[in-house]
Structure 1
Amino acid sequence: MGFGSDLKYSHDALLKLQDWELRLLEAVKKFMAMRVKSDKEYASTLQNLCNQVDKESTFQLDYISNVSKSWLLMVQQTEQLSRIMKTHAEDLNSGPLHRLTMMIKDKQQVKKSYVGVHQQIEAEMYKVTKTELEKLKASYRQLIKEVNSAKEKYKEAVAKGKETDKAKDRYDKANMKLHTLHNQYVLALKGAQLYQHQYYDTTLPRLLDSLQKMQEEMIKALKGILDEYSQITSLVTEEIVNVHKEIQTSVEQIDPNTEYSGFIETHRSPEVVEQEIEFDTSLLEENENLQANEIMWNNLTAESLQAIFIWKTDSRPR
């Protein structure tokens, strides 16, 4: 299968195909341009987020915290991700997007050249097989009328016996012109037939095969552009994966069981013997009826002590 062998009579379809492909490339170009803008804005947003983080606040305490270390590394790796995304956006802009822009211009030129050459060879084909033959056919018909007219006049001259030689000479000259034009028409017809065969067997197929080759080369180039786009915009590239691995590793190093070991060591309290809480005997200096650390039970305190006893009993867990 090929353009030259299968699309000889599909000129309109080929034009529609090229127009559709140009619209598709324009859509891809617009998408890539928006992706470049989006990635640049994303990189800028990440950087702004990192700039707003008070990195000094992570080390206000006088001990090393794995949580603060992990958090600081996450911020640092986010800054790294911002730089990577910015670089990718710049690479996308200068690489695939630029090449795609050039391809669109080349494809527009290919279409223009194809249309121009096709119009040229088609016009020549029409001239040889239509226009020139129609002129000869018109002259052919006119000469036939002239020959028939000269023949009738010759017959009349013979019948009248007047100017027969002159009439015959006119008749012979008209026949000579007709026979000469007949030969021209036959030769022109053979030439047109050969030209037509040459056009459909060689000239047009070569043009179409050339167009197909250029089309296929551009598809190959576009495949390369899309492949590069895929690699540049991939979120699983080694450098991005490493960013997230660093973050994950730092998070895994957080150990709740040992997080405060350093803090405890730094701020360990010295052993202190707490002073025993004792009954202040100075309260009894002016009263001899009361005894330190002993409950006074009498008619004056029985009711209140009984209430306390009942409350404590009811509040015991069951």
Structure 2
Amino acid sequence: MGFGGDLKYSHDALLKLQDWELRLLETVKKFMVMRVRSDKEYASTLQNLCNQVDKESTCQLDFISNVSKSWLLVVQQTEQLSKIMKTHAEDLNSGPLHRLTMMIKDKQQVKKSFVGVHQQIEAEMYKVTKTELEKLKSSYRQLIKEVNSAKEKYKEAVAKGKETEKAKDRCEKATMKLHMLHNQYVLALKGAQLHQHQYYGTTLPLLLDSLQKMQEEMIKALKGILDEYSQITSLVTEEIVNVHKEIQTSVEQIDPNSEYNDFIDTHRSSEVVEQEIEFDTSLLEENENLQANEIMWNNLTAESLQITISGIYYKFPFKTMNHPFVFTFALLLFISIFLNRY
């Protein structure tokens, strides 16, 4: 199966094929141009992010933070990723994209050359098998008329007995021209048959097979271009994988249980003797009815005390309750709710 053996009469289809392939290559080129631009912009954006983070991270802590160290490594590896993406974009531009541009020019030239050669051999074929034979056939018909006319005049001359030799000579010359043209036409016809056989048997198949060979070579080259594109733009190359491995490792090094050890050592406070909070007995010097640290329950205070107790029970319905326990319980409840959110 091949162009030369199967596409002798499919010239229009071959032209459409080449036009379609050229449009496809132009589409691939446009895509690669946009990919180069996109990767460069992505690399630039990553670099700008890293630069901004560096400016915002100038304030240094006075203790060692594993979170800070891990975050710094994340930023550094992101900057490394930016450099890799920029290099890949440059490699894509100077490699596959450049080769693809040259291929498009070569393919355009191949089509132009194919059309030119095909038109040339087809024109020669038409000339030998059509134009020249039609001219000979036209001359053939004209000489037949001349021979028949010369024969009629010769017969008239013989009948009249006048200028018979002259008429005979004209008849013989016309006949000789006809025979010579007949031979020429026969030879031209054989030549046209041989030319036609050569055209469809050798010349055209060679041209088509050559076109197929060039087409296949370009497909091979395009495969190489796309393979290189795939390798350059791959996000699972060793260098990019290493970047993300470094980031993952840095994240795994964060240990919540030991994160604040250094901070605690740095800001450890000394023990302070707590001042005891006691009832100020001086308040009772002028009033003997009130006792230190005892609730006064009487007709004057019963209503307000009842309201106070009811408020505590409404908020925290426990049978046994005092203010320190309520506060501690509320704090623990808040911490529990906060932690459950994560």
State the TM-score, normalizing by the size of structure 1. Answer: 0.90
Q: In structure 1, what is the Cα distance between the partners aligned to 2:23 and 2:317?
A: 93
Deviations 1:11-44 (A, max 9, x none): 1111111111111111111110011111111111
**SS of residue paired to 1:116:** helix
Let me know the Cα RMSD of the aligned residues.
2.8
Change in CA separation of 1:286 and 1:212 when aligned onto 2, cut-off 3 Å: same
8 Å contact 1:55–1:72 — kept in the other structure? no
Residue 282 (structure 1) shift: 3.8
Give the 3 Å change call, closer, same or farther, for CA 257–58 of structure 1 in structure 2.
Answer: farther
Match of 1:236 in 2: 236
SS in 1 for 2:323: coil
Q: Distance in 1 between matches of 2:256 and 2:58?
A: 17
Q: What residue ranges of structure 1 are gaps of 5+ in the alignment?
A: none
- Shifted more, 105-114 versus 124-133: the winner is 124-133
1:264 and 1:46 mapped to 2: Cα distance?
36
The 3 A distance-change label for structure 1 pair 250 and 55 is farther
State the alpha-carbon separation in 2 of the partners of residues 25 and 302 from structure 1. Answer: 96
1:183 alignment partner, SS class: helix
Residues 40 and 86, structure 1, Cα contact 8 Å, conserved in 2: yes
Q: Taking structure 1 as reference, are residues 166 and 244 closer, same or farther at Cα in structure 2, changes over 3 Å only?
A: same
Give the Cα separation in 2 of the matches to 1:303 and 1:214: 107
- Residues 312, 191 of structure 1: alpha-carbon distance in 2 compared, 3 angstrom cutoff: closer
Q: What SS class does the counterpart of residue 297 from structure 1 fall into?
A: coil
In the aligned structure 1, how far is the partner of 2:200 from the partner of 2:303? 128
Distance (whole Å) between structure 1 residues aligned to residue 202 and residue 276 of structure 2:
118
Per-residue CA deviation, residues 110-144 of structure 1 (Å, 9 max, x unaligned), is 11111111111111111111111111111111100
> 2 CA distance for matches of 1:236 and 1:302?
78
1:262 corresponds to 2:269: no
Q: Distance in 2 between matches of 1:303 and 1:144?
A: 149
Question: 2:136 and 2:288 mapped to 1: Cα distance?
Answer: 158
Over 3 Å counting, the alpha-carbon distance change for 1:58 and 1:260 in structure 2 is: farther
Distance 1:269 1:125, change over 3 A: same
Q: 1:187 to 1:209 in 2, by over 3 A?
A: same
Does the C-alpha gap of structure 1 residues 169 and 266 become closer, same or farther in structure 2, counting only changes over 3 Å?
Answer: same
Of 245-254 and 205-214, the range deviating more from structure 2: 245-254
Q: CA deviation at 1:217?
A: 0.3
* Of 144-153 and 159-168, the range deviating more from structure 2: 159-168
Range with greater deviation from structure 2 (287-296 or 27-36): 287-296
Structure-2 separation of matches of 1:37 and 1:158: 98
Give the number of aligned pairs.
Answer: 315
In structure 2, what is the Cα distance between the partners aligned to 1:310 and 1:74?
Answer: 50
Shift in CA distance, 173/266, structure 1 to aligned 2, threshold 3 Å: same
1:236 Cα deviation (Å)? 1.1
Quick check: 265-274 or 184-193, which moved more?
Answer: 265-274
Measured against aligned partners, the alpha-carbon deviations of 1:143-163 in whole angstroms (never above 9, x if no partner) come to 000000001111111222222
Instruction: Say which SS state the counterpart of residue 287 (structure 1) adopts.
Output: coil
How far the C-alpha of 1:261 sits from its partner, in A, is 1.9
Compute the displacement of 1:214 (Å).
Answer: 0.5
CA distance in 2 between partners of 1:28 and 1:300 (Å):
94
1:171-190 alignment to 2 at 5 Å?
171-190=171-190
Deviation at 1:240, TM superposition (A): 1.1
Give per-residue Cα distances to partners, 1:196-242, cap 9 Å, x unaligned.
Answer: 11111111111111111000000000000011111111111111111
1: CA distance, partners of 2:162 / 2:109: 73
For residue 275 of structure 1, report the CA deviation from its aligned partner: 2.3
Give the Cα–Cα distance (whole angstroms) in 2 for the partners of residues 305 and 39 of structure 1.
Answer: 74
Q: Is the 8 A contact 1:58 1:68 kept in 2?
A: no
CA apart distance, 1:281: 3.8
**Could you say if the C-alpha distance between residues 62 and 316 of structure 1 is closer, same or farther in structure 2, counting changes exceeding 3 Å?**
closer
CA contact (8 A) 1:59 1:68 kept: no
SS at match of 1:58: coil
Deviation readout 1:65-115 (Å, 9 max, x if unpaired): 122122211111111111111111100000000000000111111111111
Q: 1:222 to 1:303 in 2, by over 3 A?
A: closer
Looking at structure 1, the residues matched to 7 and 104 of structure 2 have their Cα atoms a distance apart, in angstroms, of: 24
Q: 1:305 to 1:12 in 2, by over 3 A?
A: closer
Give, in angstroms, the shift of residue 59 of structure 1. Answer: 6.0
Q: CA deviation at 1:277?
A: 2.2
Q: 1:298 to 1:186 in 2, by over 3 A?
A: closer
More divergent stretch after superposition (292-301 vs 54-63): 292-301
How much has 1:292 moved relative to structure 2?
4.6
Between stretches 282-291 and 206-215, larger displacement belongs to 282-291
**Alpha carbons of structure 1 residues 71 and 311: separation in structure 2 relative to 1, 3 Å:** closer
Q: 182-191 vs 56-65, which deviates more?
A: 56-65
* Percent of aligned positions that are identical: 91
User: Distance between the aligned counterparts of 1:114 and 1:261, measured in 2?
Assistant: 79
Residues 137 and 297 of structure 1, relative CA distance in 2, 3 Å threshold: closer
Give the superposition deviation at 1:57. Answer: 3.1
Q: 1:145 to 1:277 in 2, by over 3 A?
A: same
CA distance in 2, matches of 1:124, 1:188: 14
